[in-house]
């Protein structure tokens, strides 16, 4: 039985602190391709010693096996290998949506608030239960938010000065805006900080959970208002924004680090697990474990010269 060959691209991305691709790694990479009779059509250097594209042709029946083998090699070598269909859609993105906590910013906001309220231990126990599958995201959020009752409503203003943006976040969003790509933050966190992040990065949309404030406006009640922004809702929001912007889902990308980001990665045309937990990386369309979010532009096929023009 003859199966069709499809055009794909493999992007190798080395860590910032360990640039270069060893001969051993390159040999192992080509061994994976050879084992599945993958043909290499061309090579492009995106960044000297950091990122390179290989245009390949792979049999439709071998795609799953090739992806698994490349994933295993990537983990062993500590070098990201992004495997995706070739074509115009790679560059012609129309919408990129981001998780907030541990993606656009380096902290988990709920932990910051818990530290502010001296309930870190209780919050961490609930978080652990959620991670172990003992309770779902909605239950976890409800229980953690309940511990915040009585905290001054000014807490978010206090936290803004402590927020640390992920390296490359500002440059990436600037580049995407310059390219005319719509951007959004879809967060299971809280809207005051999501809106602030939106303003700081020049994003087009921001969606997150709303915390109820007491009638006199002075403190948190320990409850949320409206629909909880969980994994399913993130996926729905991505679809809604794409529809509003008249974009086919094939031109959308979702970037996140948690299990509740997997649904929106699946809904989007492509997904990137950024410095995510191993279980999330296994299920995501791609993974990126470098220091800077700006490296996502390598995944989109841009080289250093083009990236420099975009961020300046």
Model confidence pLDDT, tens digit, residues 5-57: 999 999 999 999 999 999 999 999 999 999 999 999 999 999 999 999 999 99
Residue 180 confidence (pLDDT): 98
The verdict on pTM exceeding 0.85 is yes
| Annotation says 204 is catalytic | no
Rounded to whole angstroms, the Cα distance separating 280 from 270 reads 15
In this structure, how many other beta carbons lie within 10 angstroms of the beta carbon of residue 80?
23
Contact 152, 218 (CB under 8 A): yes
Is residue 111 among the annotated active site residues?
Answer: no
Q: Minimal CA–CA distance to 33: which of 69, 72, 86, 84?
A: 69
For the stretch 241-291, pLDDT in tens is 999 999 999 999 999 998 899 999 999 999 999 999 898 999 999 999 999
* Tens-place pLDDT, residues 124-177: 888 777 766 688 889 999 999 999 999 999 999 999 999 999 999 999 999 999
- Return d(Cα 247, Cα 36) in angstroms, integer: 35
C-alpha 195/C-alpha 165 separation (Å) is 14
Tokens of 115: 């530290």
SS3 state of residue 89? helix
The model's pLDDT over 173-189, given as tens digits with 9 standing for 90+, comes to 999 999 999 999 999 99
DSSP 22: -
Above 60 in pLDDT, residue 1? no
Structure tokens given for 80: 């990201």
Sketch out the chain's domains with CATH numbers. 1-86 (3.30.70.260), 92-312 (3.40.50.1000)
Q: CA-CA distance, 249 to 82, in Å (whole number)?
A: 20
101, 257, 261, 295: the catalytic one is: 101
Per the residue annotation, which of 53, 80, 99, 204 is the catalytic one? 99
């Amino acid at each position: 039985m003859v199966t069709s060959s499809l055009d794909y691209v493999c992007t190798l991305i080395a860590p910032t602190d360990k640039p270069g691709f060893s001969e051993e790694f390159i040999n192992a990479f080509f061994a994976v391709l050879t084992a599945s009779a993958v043909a290499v059509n061309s090579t492009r250097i995106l960044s000297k010693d950091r990122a390179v594209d290989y245009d390949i042709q792979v049999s439709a029946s071998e795609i799953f096996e090739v992806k698994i083998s490349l994933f295993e090699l990537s983990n062993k070598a500590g070098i990201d290998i992004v495997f995706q269909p070739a074509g115009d859609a790679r560059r012609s993105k129309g919408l990129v949506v981001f998780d907030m906590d541990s993606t656009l910013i380096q902290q988990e906001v709920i932990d910051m608030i818990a530290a502010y309220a001296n309930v870190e231990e209780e919050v961490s126990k609930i978080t652990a239960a959620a991670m172990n599958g003992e309770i779902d995201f909605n239950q976890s959020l409800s229980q953690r938010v309940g511990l915040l009752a009585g905290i001054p409503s000014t807490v978010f203003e206090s936290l803004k000065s402590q927020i640390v943006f992920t390296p490359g976040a500002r440059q990436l969003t600037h580049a995407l805006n310059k390219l005319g790509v719509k951007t959004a933050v879809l967060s299971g966190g809280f809207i005051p900080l999501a809106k602030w992040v939106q303003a700081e990065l020049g994003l087009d949309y921001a969606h997150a959970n709303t915390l109820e404030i007491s009638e006199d406006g002075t403190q948190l009640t320990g409850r949320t208002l409206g629909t909880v922004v969980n994994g399913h809702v993130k996926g729905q929001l991505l679809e809604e924004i794409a529809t509003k912007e008249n974009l086919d889902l094939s031109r959308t990308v979702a970037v996140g680090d948690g299990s509740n980001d997997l649904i929106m990665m699946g809904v989007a045309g492509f997904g990137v697990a950024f410095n995510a937990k191993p279980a999330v990386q296994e299920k995501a369309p791609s993974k990126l474990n470098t220091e800077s979010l700006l490296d996502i532009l390598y995944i989109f096929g841009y080289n250093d010269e083009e990236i420099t023009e975009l961020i300046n």
